[in-house]
Amino acid sequence: MQKLILPLAIACLAFSCSPKKEAAIFPVVIATWDSGKPVCEASWEVLSQTDGRALDAVEKGANSIENTINCCVGLGGNPDRDGHVTLDASIMDEQMNCGSVAFLERIKNPISVARAVMEKTPHVMLVGEGAQQFAVENGFTLESGELSEGAKKSYEKWLEKSEYKPVINIEQSQGAGQHVDVPKKLENGDYNHDTMGLLALDNGQNLSGACTTSGMGFKMRGRVGDSPIIGSGLFVDNEVGAAVATGQGEEVIRVAGTHLVVEFMRQGNSPEDACRLACERIINVNPEKAKTFQVAFIALNKAGEYGGYAIQPNFSYAIKKGEQDTEVIKAKSHYSKEDLK
Ligand code: SD4
């Protein structure tokens, strides 16, 4: 018997036959939330070209939503508790090149600054003033910093409810004013997020990913979430697959969420199962607390298979491949609406 197995394995390696896997389907792009639909379509303009690169596709998709006014991505997003919009973004290509920016203010396209960090510096991450300075030096416009109409309104409402007053000499006031919680949910009952994460597999069968956000609305000034942290908000391993996260960033950071998803895929799990296992890892940290926040992952493997999974219901993601129209898929979740009643 053993005599047979070895030649079979060698033959399989030589002809790269893998009996369980179906032929890879590409190009394909997936993106978080319903708002991922137009984002997938923007990415498709690149991916549909024979030599369209996944990296260019995810940057284009991310730019397309950064250029619109919405609650949670780009300069139109909800501000921090002191009234400033601060942006986090990361990007990663098929060669493990990666770049990110965090706590970036007054720059419209953080994902493109993250790409510039990746391509023009020896570093992975730039933050705050330094990131802004780098952006301006590289031709990005310094915008006014004014809040969008929608953000102004939500901020004023939040101020009323939280009664938050920025404290100048915080050291002397022994932390007064710092006990205001970041709301897990917004006024309309939605979870306080809608980060755009997207993953693409191009015609050359290469993977890339991007993640861009204004983070949790009304966060503490200086707070950075998972989105710009490679291995937490985004991870791409061109041998295996890629994953991106959305939701309560702190919970994703503590388990290095997207790296975990990719490692679960490496162990042979489907993208959906890998996302589910990573959600379960987070839930196991504190099952009671996990009932109160949302975390969701989406993943795409080298064969073009994709999936998503969330802790709470109502997470969706968009997918575009081949000639098919972009589809929005409701992801499975650990908890159902009934569980939470
Ligand atoms: C954060 N993960 O800053 C981000 C927020 C988010 O959908 O996902 N929004 O924690």
The residue ranges of every structural domain in the chain are 26-336
Amino acid at the residue 46: V
Q: Whose CA is nearest to atom 5 of ligand 1?
A: 215
DSSP for 171-195 reads TTTTTTT--PPPPSB-TTS-BS---
Give the per-residue pLDDT at 70: 86
Distance 119 CA to ligand 1 centre (A): 25
Residue 25 has pLDDT above 90, yes or no: no
Looking at 14-23, 95-104, 118-127, 314-323, which range is the least confident one?
14-23
Q: How confident is the model at residue 337 (pLDDT cuts 50, 70, 90)?
A: confident
Distance 254 CA to ligand 1 centre (A): 14
Distance 225 CA to ligand 1 centre (A): 6
Rg (CA), the chain: 21
Cβ-in-10-Å burial (0-12, 13-18, 19+) of 332 comes to middle
Q: How confident is the model at residue 306 (pLDDT cuts 50, 70, 90)?
A: very high
Cβ neighbours, 10 Å, residue 175: 9
Hunting for tokens 């993640």 — which residue is that?
Answer: 211
Give the per-residue pLDDT at 147: 95
Q: How confident is the model at residue 5 (pLDDT cuts 50, 70, 90)?
A: very low
Residue 14 has pLDDT above 90, yes or no: no
The predicted-structure confidence for 36-92, as pLDDT tens digits, reads as follows: 999 999 999 999 999 999 999 999 999 999 999 888 999 999 999 999 999 999 999
- Looking at the CA of residue 219, tell me the nearest atom of ligand 1: 3
Residue 127 sits at φ, ψ, to 5 deg, of: -130, 160
**Structure-block tokens of residue 276:** 């589910």
Q: How confident is the model at residue 174 (pLDDT cuts 50, 70, 90)?
A: very low
Looking at 11-25, 92-106, 288-302, which range is the least confident one?
11-25
Q: Whose CA is nearest to atom 3 of ligand 1?
A: 215
Residue 185 has pLDDT above 90, yes or no: no
Taking the C-alpha atoms of residue 233 and residue 255, their distance in angstroms, rounded to an integer, is: 11
The predicted-structure confidence for 221-279, as pLDDT tens digits, reads as follows: 999 999 999 999 999 999 999 999 999 999 999 999 999 999 999 999 999 999 999 99
Q: Which residues line ligand 1 (CB under 6 A)?
A: 72, 193-195, 213, 215-216, 225-227, 246-249
Are the beta carbons of 274 and 305 closer than 8 angstroms? Answer: no
Give the per-residue pLDDT at 89: 98
Cβ-in-10-Å burial (0-12, 13-18, 19+) of 9 comes to exposed
Residue 3 has pLDDT above 80, yes or no: no
Secondary structure in 3-state letters for 192-258: CCCCEEEEEECCCCCEEEEEEECCCCCCCCCCCCCCCCECCCEEEECCCEEEEEEECHHHHHCCCHH
32 is annotated as an active-site residue: no
- Averaged pLDDT of the chain: 88
Give the per-residue pLDDT at 1: 40
Instruction: Report the DSSP beta bridge partners of residue 209.
Output: 92, 199
What stretch of H or E contains 91?
strand 87-92
Taking the C-alpha atoms of residue 181 and residue 197, their distance in angstroms, rounded to an integer, is: 25
Hunting for tokens 């986090």 — which residue is that?
Answer: 88
**Residue 228 CA to its chain's centroid (Å):** 8
Whether omega for the bond prior to residue 19 falls within 30 degrees of 0, making it cis, is no
Give the per-residue pLDDT at 184: 59
pTM here is 0.88
User: Which residue among the candidates 195, 212, 213, 246 is catalytic per the annotation?
Assistant: 195
Distance 14 CA to ligand 1 centre (A): 44
Give the per-residue pLDDT at 224: 97
Give the per-residue pLDDT at 189: 58
Q: What does the DSSP 8-state code read for residue 81?
A: T
Taking the C-alpha atoms of residue 40 and residue 95, their distance in angstroms, rounded to an integer, is: 22
Question: Average of pLDDT values for 88-106?
Answer: 98
- Choosing from 195, 196, 224, 282 the residue with most ligand 1 atoms within 8 A of its CB, the one to mutate for a pocket test is 195
Which of 19 and 27 is assigned the larger pLDDT?
A: 27
**Structure-block tokens of residue 111:** 């994902």
Angle at 330 between CA 324 and CA 331, to 5 degrees: 115
Superfamily of domain 26-336 in CATH is (Glycosyl)asparaginase (3.60.20.30)
Taking the C-alpha atoms of residue 296 and residue 248, their distance in angstroms, rounded to an integer, is: 9
Taking the C-alpha atoms of residue 27 and residue 200, their distance in angstroms, rounded to an integer, is: 7
